[in-house]
Amino acid sequence: MLFNIDLHVHTDRSPDGCSTLLEIAAIAKLKGLHGLALTDHDIMMHEGDSMRLSRELGILVVPGVELTTEAGHLIILNPKRNLLGLSMKEAAHAASIDGSPIIIPHLMDPISHGIGEEQALSLLTYSPLIEVLNASTFSRYNHKASFFATSHSLPAVGGSDAHLADAVGDAYTVVDSPSLELGSVLAAISDGRTMPSGGRTSLATAAKTVFARFMKRISRA
Ligand SMILES: [Zn+2]
Ligand SMILES: [Zn+2]
């Protein structure tokens, strides 16, 4: 069966995230998503939390984290141990041992802390998935990431990188899984049974996000 899952979503737990999980889940369901991965910046989320949230919200919540490493950003789904503070390669190595899917987000976008081609090559041994469709980055960066994935026969995924609920599901991943149970979905992602879909976030929503981030920043100042 095919399930539409946004594999890159930030809540207001991220310093630059502006929507609550409740707001995000409501819009995700309205847009027909079956699930979303919570990938807040440097905030570990575990399987137990995601099971509880999935039940409460009525949508599959895949646990994840977007790590800030010395080389750039790296997404780990279903992390089994604390990965904060590790180098990019240490984190990828640990995730690989634990069977946690590794996603390289916005690979070619230097402004968004993409790790770039050279660093990505050093992760090939860990069979990462490549985010070839990030709704928040420029098309040219997505095209370059797509070329990299194809060149190295790596599975491709999509995600909104939403920092505001309106943008959730603008890009997502179609996952071919026998069921919507978390274990099945994670196994399908690990196997690369994934296809990116959707497009880029509209300029209006992008502008709304910039404004919301600004308001959050000044309210904290
Ligand atoms: Zn990022
Ligand atoms: Zn992100």
The parent domain of residue 39 ranges over 2-220
Question: What does the pLDDT read at residue 33?
Answer: 98
Angle at 41 between CA 34 and CA 48, to 5 degrees: 55
Closest CA to 28 of 36, 20, 19, 38: 36
| Closest ligand to the CA of 15 | 2
Q: What is the mean pLDDT of residues 161-187?
A: 98
Tell me the per-residue pLDDT of 3-16, one tens digit each, with 9 for 90 and over. Answer: 999 999 999 999 99
What are 39-48's pLDDT values in tens digits?
999 999 888 8
Return the higher-pLDDT residue of 77 and 221: 77
Report the separation in Å between the CA atom of 8 and the middle of ligand 1, taken as the mean of its atom positions. Answer: 9
pLDDT tens digits along 121-146 = 999 999 999 999 999 999 999 999 99
Mean pLDDT over the full length of the chain: 96
Burial of 44 per CB tally in 10 Å (0-12, 13-18, 19+): middle
Q: How many domains does the chain have?
A: 1
- Rounded to 10 deg, the angle between the 47-57 and 21-30 helix axes is 60
- Give the pLDDT of residue 211: 86
Distance from the CA of 221 to the center of ligand 1, in angstroms? 23
Per DSSP, 181 falls in state S
Measured torsion, CA atoms of residues 121, 122, 126, 127, in degrees rounded to the nearest 10 = 0
Condensed to tens digits (0 to 9), the pLDDT of residues 143-157 reads: 999 999 999 999 999
CATH code for the domain of 66: 3.20.20.140
Cα–ligand 2 centroid distance for 66 (angstroms): 6
Residue recorded with tokens 């240490």: 90
Q: Which residue shows structure tokens 């390289």?
A: 104
How many A from CA of 221 to the centre of ligand 2? Answer: 23
